[in-house]
Structure 1
Amino acid sequence: MSSTLIAEQLLNGLGYGLMLFLLAAGLTLVFGVMDTMNLAHGSLFTMGAYIGATLSLYTGSFVLAVAGAVVGTVLLALALEIALMRRLYVSNHLVQVVATLGVILIVDDVVKATWGAAPIIAGAPQVFSQPIQITSDWAYPSYRVLVLVAGLAVAALLYALVNHTRLGMLVRAGASNRAMAQMMGVRVKQVFSVIFLLGAALAGLAGALMGPLSAVQNGMGETIMIPALIVIVIGGIGSVRGALVGALLVGTVETIGRAFAPALLKQFMPPALVADTAPALAGMTMYLLMVAVLFFKPRGLFPARG
């Protein structure tokens, strides 16, 4: 087990964690600030991935693909917000869960009817096709470096937006006391709409960036929603800082587990059992991490609400 392999898997884990952050940040704002459970958030991630992959294949422009994915996802989210979400803001969580589960089923059928059941393979853009030589015996994919840089940049911008702008102040006011904020002249409904669309933009961006790293396929949004939900529980519901820390922890732990679990298990098990046991054990790592965090910090690492 070389130090190069460990370093590479750590970088892979950080990259995956930052993609989780883009998804979890919007989810934690919608749930933590607006008290709205939107299980269809993963469907916005799926649409961003499909739109980005399609534009990339047909235009050859990565910039256009990412921009189109973000804009397209925001427009779809706007239609969803007007048609459904505004009614759910004042509903109980059970109604929100059932309604957004229905949205997931509809989006899955629309995706299957539009793009078919076969996965779409959209490779990394040509400019990022060559790896970056870090050491004499270690080259790291340049596209993964782009994902790292983009994720960190978005995290910094989002933190500044929430904590150092008028919009962020309005968001915190609406979250702490909606009725009082309305009495003070804050247009809470409009603020909530902006939050929902911001979350959709982040989900679309995550989908577009994830496309070249894996096959774009129907249901990918539901799959990634599980670790995204674990991220916001670990970080603290409603906390952007918590979402970032939680995402980096989950991404790193899960990636390290998947990379090294087979080698560790081979010391104790026959190879036939390792093939089945290692993936399951690696998938358990994020749940074990969540249990450990909640044991010591029941409200998450950085709870937004006092």
Structure 2
Amino acid sequence: MEISTFLAQCLNAVQYGLLLFLVASGLTLIFGIMGVINLAHGSFYMIGAYMAWSLAPLFGDQFVLQLLAGVVLAALLGFVLEWAFFSYLYQRDHLQQVLMTYALILVFEEVRGLLAGNDVHGVTVPPWLSGSVALGDLMSYPVYNLFASGACLLVAVGLYWVVNRTRLGMMIRAGASNRDMVRGLGINIGLLYRVVFAAGVALAALAGMIAAPMTSVYPGMGGQILIICFVVVVIGGIGSISGALIASLLVGFVDTFGKVLFSQFSGLSIYLLMALILVWRPQGLKNKGY
């Protein structure tokens, strides 16, 4: 493998891993803190991608403003969904949670079909991000992919700062460790859950909006990433943000180079990685809440 090809694949792996982290971090927060198995989380990624497609004509070249508007809309959606549906699932068993969230997948798919149809849609890369960077004499790498990696990394740093350096993060970590203690200290655990859920929805939708120009927008796109994100959550440790980041990058590298070096067995690579890590550390790479 030439050095330029190796570098391009490394960049692809980092970009894919960071996108996975945006989706998986929300999933691990919801699962680890609220105790809800949310099968509909991949649908929020799909909703973000369709928002990128629908908002693009309104914002034109203002792609950053488009992302911010999508994040705000997704957070509002998450706030309403937690109040209307998920707040009733905390004391229910996991089977009822699975049935409810699977029903939401069906609802989201039907609404998507009514509003956007079943065609595949493309999202144009903004002109100021449409160039490429040379990697050697024969290869180049899209500037937009570098922007996507940088944006995801910026969000990851911001999320780490919020969770580990702010009062809200302290409450989130405490809620992940002992929700009864948090409730006993007088903290509004219902509002905390609502904020966490809205943040998880916003992160997944942001990942979908960033990925839309690279992968296009199509029906059922949330189901594929949901499975991989559950793998990331299990590897990183349920409820751990830093574990989700490490696991996402591991999955990104294993999946990317597995497709290049062992194309016939690439579909098994991330599941073999999960099996090996669970044999070594059944609880995942990191502890809950850190």
- TM-score per shorter chain, which class? over 0.9
Aligned equivalents of 1:59, 1:150: Cα separation in 2? 19
Counterpart amino acid of residue 81 in structure 1: E
CA distance in 2, matches of 1:203, 1:302: 21
- When the two chains are superposed, the root-mean-square deviation of aligned CA atoms in Å is 1.5
Which residue is equivalent to 1:11?
11
Deviation at 1:123, TM superposition (A): 2.4
Name the SS of the counterpart of 1:36 in structure 2. Answer: coil
- SS of the counterpart of 1:186? coil
Matched, 1:297 2:288: no
- 1:134-173 map, 5 Å: 134-173=135-174
Structure 1: which 4+ aligned runs deviate by more than 6 Å? Answer: none
Aligned position for 2:268: 284
1:269 corresponding residue in structure 2:
none
Matches within 5 A, 1:78-227: 78-227=79-228
How many positions carry a matched residue from both structures?
Answer: 289
Q: Is the 8 A contact 1:55 1:64 kept in 2?
A: no
Unaligned runs of 5+ in 2: none
Kindly provide the amino acid, as one letter, of the partner of residue 95 in structure 2: L
Q: Which residue identity is paired with 1:43? A: S
Structure 1: stretches of 5+ with no match in the other structure: 263-277
Larger Rg: 1
Deviation at 1:72, TM superposition (A): 2.1
What is the CA–CA distance in structure 2 between the aligned matches of 1:255 and 1:8, rounded to whole Å? 11
Counterparts of 1:163 and 1:72, CA distance in 2? 26
Mapping 1:11-90, distance limit 5 Å: 11-61=11-61, 62-90=63-91
Q: Can you list the C-alpha shifts for 1:191-230, whole angstroms capped at 9, x where unaligned? A: 1111001111101110100001102111111110011000
TM-score, normalised relative to structure 1: 0.91
Distance (Å, rounded) in 2 between the aligned partners of 1:103 and 1:85: 11
Normalising by structure 2, we get a TM-score of 0.95
Instruction: State the shift of 1:90 in Å.
Output: 2.0
Partner Cα distance (2:216, 2:57) in 1: 13
Cα shift readout 1:160-216 (whole Å, capped 9, x = no counterpart): 111111001111222222222212111111111110011111011101000011021
Shift of 1:136: 4.6
Name the SS of the counterpart of 1:218 in structure 2: coil
Structure 1, residues 16-70: CA drift from partner, whole Å, max 9, x if none?
Answer: 0100000000000000111111111111111111011221145423223312321
Contact 2:177/2:288, CA 8 A, preserved across alignment: no
C-alpha distance in structure 1 between counterparts of 2:66 and 2:262, whole Å? 36
